[in-house]
Amino acid sequence: MATQAEKAHVFRDLHIQKKPFIIPNPWDSGSARVLSGLGFRALATTSSGFATAIGLVDGEPGREAVLAHAATLVAATELPVSADLENGFGDSPEAVAQTFHGALAAGLVGGSVEDYSGKDLYETEHAADRVRAAVEAVRGAGFPFLVTARAENFFRGKPDLADTIRRLQAYQEAGADVLFAPSLPSVEALETVLREVDRPLNVLGGIGGLASLTLADYERLGVRRISVGSLLAMVAYGGLIHAARELRDAGSFGWAQELSRAKDLRALIRG
């Protein structure tokens, strides 16, 4: 089995190659093994997908549960795993540092930290201090643990591109390895961000103004990494809801025709 350090170097190298890569987001060990079996090169957790899988809503599980979940995904696959660590599970830089120490212990090779408190965006200087704390917490690991800093403006109903860019620039100065501004509204906004930062940029694919872009489009633009957040989990749960409603309301089994989509499931789980 690959060591955490070996996985970390693989993960870092994915960010410095010219061709971008897709990092899908499993929500449990089974989905992690399926995605690994399908040939993806790295995985990232989804806070919303995980919360749904244990009967909660996004933001409810808490640090201990999130890190334990991340450790199960690390154990389920040979791929590098990065984690959605939400806002670091506390407002202070010290709380963020504690979370990232836990991320190292869980076997992760990367993690993200948001600049949203749960009520509002943190003031930029304080948010940058929180990123700095995350970076310092993993600096002595002996391998390149990648810290992703998220500017949540567009994701949290504060669509200010200039402020988004100022925040991303502050986070790269604080030492972030990867930058992320989820839900950018257009290709033009994405191009502007790419011109104004000098770190690899993660983009949330499949939604909003970027929904129609393909991997080839992202390569042309200069994006390094594309994640999908909770989208795969929500598609899976959407299929469950659709099938269960037909079963309940019509007493019919047309939904079972979809079983052919899972014909390779056993082989993928077993690797």
| Measured distance CA(31)–CA(43) in Å, rounded | 10
Q: Which stretch of 44-48, 240-244, 261-265 has the lowest confidence by average pLDDT?
A: 261-265
Q: Are 269 and 33 in contact (CB under 8 A)?
A: yes
Model confidence pTM above 0.95: yes
| Measured distance CA(20)–CA(18) in Å, rounded | 6
Nearest to 167 by CA among 179, 155, 182: 179
pLDDT-based confidence at residue 18 (cuts at 50, 70, 90): confident
Average pLDDT, the chain: 97
| Measured distance CA(226)–CA(142) in Å, rounded | 26
Note the pLDDT tens digit of each residue in 138-193: 999 999 999 999 999 999 999 999 999 999 999 999 999 999 999 999 999 999 99
Note the pLDDT tens digit of each residue in 209-246: 999 999 999 999 999 999 999 999 999 999 999 999 99
> Where are the extended beta strands (E) located within 210-265?
225-227
Report percent pLDDT > 70 for the chain. Answer: 100
Domains and CATH numbers, the chain: 4-230 (3.20.20.60)
Nearest to 39 by CA among 264, 223, 205: 264
